[in-house]
Structure 1
Amino acid sequence: MKILLIGSGGREHALAWKLAKNSRVEKIFVAPGNGGTAIEDKCENVNITDIDELLEFALNNSIELTIVGPEDPLTKGIVDKFKAKGLKIFGPSMAAARLEGSKSFSKEFMKKYGVKTAEYEVFYEADKALRYLETCSYPIVVKADGLAAGKGVAICESKEEAINSVKSFMIEDIFNGAGEKIVIEEFLEGIEASILSITDGKTIIPFISAKDHKQIFDGGKGPNTGGMGVIAPNPYVTNEVFSDFKENIMNKTLVGIKEENFDFKGIIFFGIMITKKGTYLLEYNVRMGDPETQSVLNLMESDLLELIEASLDEKLSEVNIKWFNGSCINVVLASNGYPGYFEKGFEIKIDRSVKDKVFLAGAQLEKGILRTNGGRVLSVVGNGKSIEEARINVYKAIEKVDFNGKYFRNDIGLV
């Protein structure tokens, strides 16, 4: 089997690593890929990002399955285009991808189908949003409606912060159109959790939960990043929380997917908040999370390709996913200065003994040498029968990975 995997992050390296384990997989073309996928078993990078060019590549290279990593091509209708040409592709249709592509659409979907979520208002004009801020209780959350590379959410402690966020989103247009429309919603206090899931449009199977650590510094301090580490499973997702999630979020979402006739054979990611009043949905993503994927796939003992094929064949109701009975911790190694200014181009040295524990993201292969090429350079993962054992293993592995300016949090796994 020849597979086309679209994307260039640590998520895609982890997906490629997991897919390559299936003996039926002959070749994985990764578009555009990164330094990790350049050296991964059975993989070859192809420097293509345009949807029409990807479609032409799939047709010309006997691609039997395409898997879409990031959200952008999904919201632009790549699945619809591939299916129109009779190609197998794993991911939601353009209509279903609006669950991530538009915050206002997703909130209205939640409201329509009784999915438990924060109270909210949608605004198309800045002056109306600014007037609304005069009546709010604080903190409050301001969200750009469209895709903003994970940066379109501002938790505002005061009216002044909220005013500045509305102006920067809607008037200054810092997200190039993604903030023309905004959602202002109630602030929920609690513990966040990520629950990646797979669906075939008739069944949703949740994966093991995860806990992302967004802030750059130890103790959850400093500015937000794309994610500095993950614990899986999330120790705060108790049986009670999981039951609440399934009843009030997952099952009602599935009702909505069916009622809306969404063509959705792919990943649905639930970002939830565990509060004293119960479990609430913060957002949907329609693809694997990064860096959650690196931890979750390490714990998955089932074959990923077989799981994807069951989704495409609408046979998920017949599937049971097997998981490692323990924990996985993922620690992100970043360039010093991230998420602000940082230098790149430094050689990355990885001891062979930890090769399978490292997933590269902001890295590229130049003349046979791996070099840093982004803020979040790579992830190192460690498994263990407990969080404590996984934590010991991951920080031991980090000692065998090095590059100039290596920065990482020291507290991932300290619950």
Structure 2
Amino acid sequence: MHKSRPKSRSKNRRGTSLVENLMIIFLITFVLVMGYMMTALSKGDEYAKEYVQGGGGAGQTKKVLKAKPAKQKAQKVEVESEDEVILNPQHLASTHKPHVKEDVMSLKNEYPRKDAPHCPPHPPSDYPHEYPILDILANWPPDMPDFRPEVVYNSLCYFDYSLEGDRAAALNYRKAEVPFVVRNIPDVDDTALRWSDPMYMKNLLGNSNYKVEESVNNHFMYWRNPAKGAKVKERDGKTWTQPTEMIKMQFDEWLEKAESYKGAKAESKHWYFRVSGCSPNGGGCPSPNTQELFDEIPIFKPQESLFMVKPKSQRGIHCRFGMTGVIAENHFDGSRNFIALLMGERRYILSKPKNCKNMALLPKEHPSGRHSEVDWSDPDLGTFPQFKKVTSTEVVMQAGDVLYLPTQWFHYIISLGTNYQCNTRSGKSDDFQRDIRDCGF
């Protein structure tokens, strides 16, 4: 009995030691596994990022980008010290309506893209990708504003203004003089929500009579008065006649026409409403001067920001309100342009200046010089065979979107419903002057 006890104790100790060792191994394994899982989850949360990409003409397709490899984590857009004031301007509001981003996003429709664009911090040399113009027009005929294709030929990059890295990337694209779209700008989103209310707009614009272009159909081509006594001839020898009439109209009168003419045929009358706010720097500004526009759209104040390249060259805010089907004919402008869509939808077809020679432009001395003579709704390839060589991209701008349009880029605009657009210009670049000069401008 006395001798058997030590054996029993030794056996118990060995059994206890084995159990203890197994438990220790289990605990160590459990801690390692849980640590690995938590690290993986934290990395997934850190790298996963939701983007709202504008689909086709400017619509958007929501997609979540998967976690990126760890080596890409440190990738950050470099910001020059002198750019800080541009990326974080003092004059933009710091407080906004609650949930303004979500409320404006709820107003947007999806426009799936034909191809997903590549949008690194600096634009690729071939950005934006271009498509044959005849493919774009066949996919979505301009005179069918109520039609929605399965995909759109949109190759523009979209940047989220609420993200510092996106703002820095947008600035790189602006410096490279290529088009892009910025979204989630609190000051713009606030305005888009206000302007969606017809009563707010009626109070803002009052009972003043504004300039309104009237056309016998849905096509609007800019024109200027010819020199006094000059007899302008078209290329076919016929005498030129002005394409539209300029009349006066109150906002609520125009809005009533815009709403009642929805679904009107392309051959019926259309009206294009104008309102402007004069710049303190001077420049042409049609009356009545609606100075309140600078409070409504603070990103367009003549102060340095992503949206204002040369504040001293700013020439006011100019708004164009379109009714369904209104088409602004293809043309280029001699200055850079930031364009904000504040209500509705508007489709832009954009073409690089190198397309100049294939656009069949009306000559500089013509009242509508800088504009394509081709009817994009029904291109006459017998008269203008070169037009089929044009390459373009498109974007559907929606409420809250801001588009950068570089100097001398061609644009053809279609109103997809009642919409309000405002733009401002701030100087020009000479990046594409050679292309335009070769076409006689």
- Coarse TM-score class (shorter-chain normalised): under 0.3
User: Under a length normalisation based on structure 2, what TM-score does the superposition of the two structures give?
Assistant: 0.26
Give the structure with the higher percent strand.
1
Larger RCO, structure (CA 8 Å, separation 6 or more): 2
Higher-Rg structure is 2
What TM-score comes out, normalization by structure 1 length? 0.27
